[in-house]
């Protein structure tokens, strides 16, 4: 049986085993997918042991190990190089560790599934952590016209824009914000603590879509989504679809099979 896992600390909350087991069933794959809490001081050894087992195919990595997973890999694709953080690992045929970041593919797939054509759109990205870094390349590749990054700590947004090295991607201060964006994406972790990132109401009131990467509990709305809805944003979405789509991209990397996702998203929304 093919062996997979997700590594994090803590990890009890992870939905990844449920998601990948549903994918495997729909793709006629037999898998064993575990949650593993890696010790904070021994992540690298834990990963090395995991990949030493002959049935191991790959793993996901979550907070707080994504940067360390990136550091361990010999081979890195463009998205993971930009993110400097890996959420997916596997060995190539020479037994060398390869790192990927599928968060951005997941975000773009979820936006597209929800009827948004990103071509020519203007996007405001709130936050400049690992999740923000991971979505820059896929958003640019999806044909957006302009991507502004606004973060509480401006220097971190500037670092991302410098690394992106693309005229469409700019770090902005509150004073440099445009008057309108088609899409506002909240990649801050503020919603987790019930807080709102500092963004002018007028931008949320006039955007076509306000997207929160955090996912809503009990089928409700995050504070960011509720705020945007109250102000009149065209549509609000949480990050559950992104979570399932980034998992689907990882599953494809490991197996070459593209799993169906809509039924998984619906199942997680209702369970």
By the criterion CB under 6 A, which residues form the site for ligand NDP?
103, 106, 127-132, 151-153, 156, 187-190, 192, 195, 197, 213-215, 239, 242-243, 246
- DSSP code of residue 150: E
Residue 66 CB, shortest distance to ligand NDP, in Å, is: 7
- Residue 4 or 56 with smaller CB distance to ligand NDP: 4
- Cβ closest to ligand NDP, residue 18 vs residue 51: 18
In the numeric block, which tokens belong to residue 151? 């973060």
Q: Is 133 exposed, middle or buried (0-12, 13-18, 19+ CB in 10 A)?
A: buried
Which of 7-24 are b and which e, b meaning 16 or more Cβ less than 10 Å from the residue's Cβ?
A: bbeebeebbbbebbbbbb
35 counts as catalytic: no
Query: Catalytic one among 2, 3, 35, 66?
Result: 66
State both tokens at 46: 């834990």
Report in angstroms how near the CB of residue 197 gets to ligand NDP at its nearest: 4
Measured from the CB of residue 89, what is the shortest distance to ligand NDP in angstroms? 16
CB nearer to ligand NDP: pick between 22 and 242: 242
DSSP 30: -
Q: Which is nearer to ligand NDP, 29 or 245 (CB)?
A: 245
DSSP letter string, 156-206 = HHHHHHHHH--TTEEE--GGG--S--SEEEE-SSGGGGT------HHHHHH
Minimum separation from the CB atom of position 33 to ligand NDP (A): 17
Which amino acids are annotated catalytic?
66
């Amino acid at each position: 049986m093919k062996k997979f896992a997700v590594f994090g600390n803590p990890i009890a909350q992870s939905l990844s085993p449920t998601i990948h087991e549903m994918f495997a069933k729909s793709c006629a794959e037999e898998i064993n997918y575990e949650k593993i809490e890696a010790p904070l001081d021994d992540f690298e050894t834990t990963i090395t042991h995991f990949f030493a087992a002959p049935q191991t195919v790959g793993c996901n990595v979550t907070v707080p190990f994504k940067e360390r997973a990136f550091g361990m890999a010999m081979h890195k694709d463009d998205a993971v190089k930009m993110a400097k953080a890996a959420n997916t690992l596997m060995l190539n045929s020479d037994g060398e560790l390869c790192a990927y970041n599928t968060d951005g593919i997941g975000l773009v797939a979820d936006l597209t599934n929800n009827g948004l054509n990103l071509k020519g759109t203007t996007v405001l990205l709130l936050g400049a952590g690992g999740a923000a870094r991971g979505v820059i390349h896929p958003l640019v590749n999806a044909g957006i016209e302009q991507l502004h990054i606004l973060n509480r700590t401006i220097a971190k947004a500037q670092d991302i824009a410098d690394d992106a090295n693309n005229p469409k991607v700019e770090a902005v201060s509150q004073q440099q914000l445009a008057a309108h964006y088609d899409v506002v994406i909240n990649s801050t972790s503020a919603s987790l603590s019930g807080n709102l990132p500092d963004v002018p109401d007028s931008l949320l009131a006039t955007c076509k879509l306000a997207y929160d990467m955090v996912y809503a509990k009990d089928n409700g709305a995050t504070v960011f989504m509720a705020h945007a809805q109250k102000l009149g944003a065209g549509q609000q979405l949480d990050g559950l679809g992104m979570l399932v789509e980034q998992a689907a991209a990882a599953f494809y990397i490991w197996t070459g099979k593209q799993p169906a996702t809509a039924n998984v998203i619906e199942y997680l929304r209702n369970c």
